[in-house]
Amino acid sequence: MNWQALRTIFQHEMARFWRTPWESLASPVVSTVLYFVVFGAAIGGRIQSVEGISYGAFIVPGLIMLTVLQQSIANASFGIFVPKFAGTIYEILAAPVSFIEVVLGYVGAAALKSVIIAVVIYLTALFFVDLPVAHPVWALAFLILTAFSFSLFGFLLGIWAKDWQQVQFIPLMVVTPLVFLGGAFYSASMLPPFWEGVARLNPVLYLVSGFRWSFFGQADVPVAASLLAVAAFLGLGVGAVWFIFRTGWRLRA
Amino acid sequence: MPPIIEVSDLSKTYASGTAALSGVTLDIREGEILALLGPNGAGKTTFISILCGLVKPTGGAARVGGHDIVRDYRAARALIGLVPQEIAVEPFETVMNTLRFSRGLFGRKPDDAHLEKVLNSLTLWDKRDARLNELSGGMKRRVLIGKALSHGPRVLFLDEPTAGVDVNLRREMWAVVRDLRAEGVTIILTTHYLEEAEEMADRIGIIDKGRLLLLQDTAKLMHEFGRKRLIVELAAPLAALPAALAGHGLTLSADGTHVRYDYDTRADRSGIARLLAGFAEAGIGVRDLETEQSSLEEVFLRLVEEGA
């Protein structure tokens, strides 16, 4: 294990985050505030409560998950796609490192950025609603595991993508719909039975549900199923990255 | 002293079916400058890329400092610095930071004093806080060398270090390479500039179509494969060469004042003595003699033709 290399990659990626604090932190905060204005104040004023929780509070876990998924994928995909695009990746490939250092460095940094953003959104939400966390340790565990899993997907996306369009296509066309349809802004039980069945096929539903449970103690699906979903995402991501570095797919000819 | 790099039967066939490298075997001595010469697509970059870990070999083996480049890649790569052909830098990073990053990637603890030394040797110390996108192309190329040297490698690969570089900068680059050699760094460079190989390298390897056609000491190569030309200045102009001298393959200059004779230094006899005797017999006075050695470029083109 080349710890120095892992630390170097990690710090390098985090430096990029702090170098542009406005883009890194302010924009998620601004969009969160907008969601509160639209969903919390305008719409939430008419919905009152979902399963006994004020609508404004109810959407916060989903809102955080939405941002964590988007930010994880965006950060990790750009983190590896930019060197690939610019050609500077040669240095990583020629360095005495294995996929472990590279993945932990890039994915770890991307995941930490998402977690920081999630915490900032949570703190922002506190200005608008009363938001106790019923199971803080589980909340943090769901947050970290989700951030890491989707950073892995972002990393894979960055390796797979051959141009900028592809880097942006997946988050826009796949992830955002999955999050919106995954119960970020409503409970799956509010849907008609047929659509509730469809929603249960959406893997993101399990993440949102589990995360929401850690806040309010209520969930659309059993918590164990949510944990299993996160573990499955993580396992898939790790397996795919391992395969890529073993075969050199799209990295080494 | 064992060779720093041992390459045996190294081959690479790309997924497309292109055989970029076919059974290359060579040893590289510690501390030497080896130039790899060959036309575009000859396999020079593939060769370097395999040794550095950018490309996976499909056959054969290679060791750097005794470490297998595949099985023991960490130890092998730790000894290597690579300066790629294309200039690829992070535009918004500073010179110093990009060197720090490279050093860290190779598992070395931060050492700004070492990086200062490297930057000074590349006359980049003044630019240490400049962003890379503010630098000229030549400076960026030197930054790439600095990155490759940041972890103190024992072997430095320079893939076409002077491609697209002006004359002054090329001289500057050569000086840097010589200084590095003086410090004991083994240098493998690829080049299109035959003049460069001739001027810089201790040994020259000629690659074409993925095969190593020749590997030899530069001076010996020049000596053995060099064709020489003898120019005979005549005491008085001739209208035509006399029939007695027809067998020598001579060429008379347009104004009849010079005779040109090409000979091969590899041949047992140069034929010069016989030629001059022939001049004497034919009663032609000789004022002066001059010889020209063929350039490496001619040697190279001839070898590639013979190898084809």
List pLDDT tens digits, range B129-156.
999 999 988 889 899 999 999 999 999 9
Residues B178-206 have a mean pLDDT of: 88
Within 8 A by CB and 6+ apart from B89, the residues are A86, A88, B98, B132, B140, B143, B144
- Identify the burial level of A81 via C-beta atoms within 10 angstroms of its C-beta, where 0-12 means exposed, 13-18 middle and 19 or more buried: buried
Structure ipTM: 0.87
**In the CATH scheme, what architecture does the domain B5-223 have?**
3-Layer(aba) Sandwich (3.40)
Q: Do domains B5-223 and B226-307 have the same CATH topology?
A: no
Q: What percent of chain A has pLDDT over 70?
A: 100
Q: Edge to edge, what strands does the sheet with B286-293 contain?
A: B251-252, B258-264, B227-234, B286-293
- Classify residue B154 by its DSSP letter: S
Q: A-contacting residues of B 45-84, CB under 8 Å?
A: 49, 52-56, 73-78, 80, 82, 84
Enumerate helices (H) and strands (E) in chain B, giving the number of each: 10, 14
- Identify the burial level of A113 via C-beta atoms within 10 angstroms of its C-beta, where 0-12 means exposed, 13-18 middle and 19 or more buried: buried
A86/B78 touch (CB, cutoff 8 Å), yes or no: no
Q: What percent of chain B has pLDDT over 90?
A: 50
What pLDDT does residue B50 have? 96
What pLDDT does residue A135 have? 93
Q: Is the pLDDT of residue A39 over 60?
A: yes
How far apart, in whole angstroms, are the C-alpha atoms of residue B178 and residue B156? 12
What pLDDT does residue A175 have? 81
Give the model's confidence band at B33: pLDDT under 50 very low, under 70 low, under 90 confident, else very high. very high
Average pLDDT of every residue of chain A = 87
B15/A97 touch (CB, cutoff 8 Å), yes or no: no
SS3 of residue B64 by DSSP: strand
B53/A94 touch (CB, cutoff 8 Å), yes or no: yes
Q: Is the pLDDT of residue B276 over 90?
A: no
- Chain B residue numbers with beta carbons less than 8 Å from the beta carbon of A86 are 88-91
Give the model's confidence band at B224: pLDDT under 50 very low, under 70 low, under 90 confident, else very high. low
Which of B266, B52, B263 shows the shortest CA–CA distance to B156? B52
Joined tokens for residue B19:
């055989």
Indicate the range of A95-99, A177-181, B192-196 predicted with least confidence: B192-196
SS3 of residue A10 by DSSP: helix
- Chain A residue numbers with beta carbons less than 8 Å from the beta carbon of B82 are 90-91, 94
**Strands B80-83, B251-252: parallel, antiparallel or unpaired by DSSP?**
unpaired
Residues A152-162 have a mean pLDDT of: 91
Task: Answer whether B152 touches A (CB < 8 Å).
Answer: no
A2/B88 touch (CB, cutoff 8 Å), yes or no: no
Give the model's confidence band at A58: pLDDT under 50 very low, under 70 low, under 90 confident, else very high. confident
The dihedral region occupied by A204, where left means phi > 0, alpha psi between -120 and 50, and beta the remainder, is alpha
Comparing A77 with B162, the larger pLDDT belongs to A77
Helix (H) or strand (E) segment spanning residue B203: strand B203-208
Which of A26, A29, A30, A6 shows the shortest CA–CA distance to A17? A26
What pLDDT does residue B271 have? 82
Within 8 A by CB and 6+ apart from A6, the residues are A97, A100, A101, A104, A105
Q: Is the pLDDT of residue A189 over 90?
A: no
Tell me the whole-structure pTM to 2 decimals: 0.83
**Minimal-distance CA residue of chain B relative to A82:** B90
Identity of the residue numbered B109: K
- Chain A residue numbers with beta carbons less than 8 Å from the beta carbon of B102 are 91
Q: Which of A9, A12, A95 sits opposite B77 (nearest CB)?
A: A95
Q: Of A236-245, B105-114, B196-205, which one has max mean pLDDT?
A: B105-114
A94/B80 touch (CB, cutoff 8 Å), yes or no: yes
Comparing B224 with B242, the larger pLDDT belongs to B242
pLDDT tens for residues A228-239?
Answer: 988 888 898 888
Residues B107-124 have a mean pLDDT of: 94
Q: Is the pLDDT of residue B295 over 70?
A: no
Identity of the residue numbered A159: I
CB-based contact B232:B277 (threshold 8 Å): no
Task: Answer whether B219 touches A (CB < 8 Å).
Answer: no
What pLDDT does residue A155 have? 93
Q: DSSP assignment of A170-236, as one string?
A: HIIIIIHHHHHTTTSSS-GGGS-HHHHHHHTT-HHHHHHHHHHHHHHS--SS-HHHHHHHHHHHHHH
Q: Please give the CATH number for the structural domain made up of B226-307.
A: 3.30.70
CB-based contact A196:A202 (threshold 8 Å): no
pLDDT tens for residues B82-96?
Answer: 999 888 899 889 999
Q: How far is CA B125 from CA B54, B119, B131, B162, B256, in A?
A: 30, 5, 13, 21, 60
Q: Edge to edge, what strands does the sheet with B155-159 contain?
A: B80-83, B155-159, B186-191, B33-37, B203-208, B211-217
- Interface probe for A, chosen from B13, B105, B143 (most Cβ of A below 10 Å), is B105
Task: Answer whether B163 touches A (CB < 8 Å).
Answer: no
Average pLDDT of every residue of chain B = 88
Give the model's confidence band at B173: pLDDT under 50 very low, under 70 low, under 90 confident, else very high. confident
Q: Is the pLDDT of residue B293 over 80?
A: no
How far apart, in whole angstroms, are the C-alpha atoms of residue A152 and residue B113? 37
Q: Which of B90, B106, B109 sits opposite A96 (nearest CB)?
A: B106
Domain ranges of chain B: 5-223, 226-307
Task: Answer whether B106 touches A (CB < 8 Å).
Answer: yes
Identity of the residue numbered B112: D
CB-based contact B76:B67 (threshold 8 Å): yes
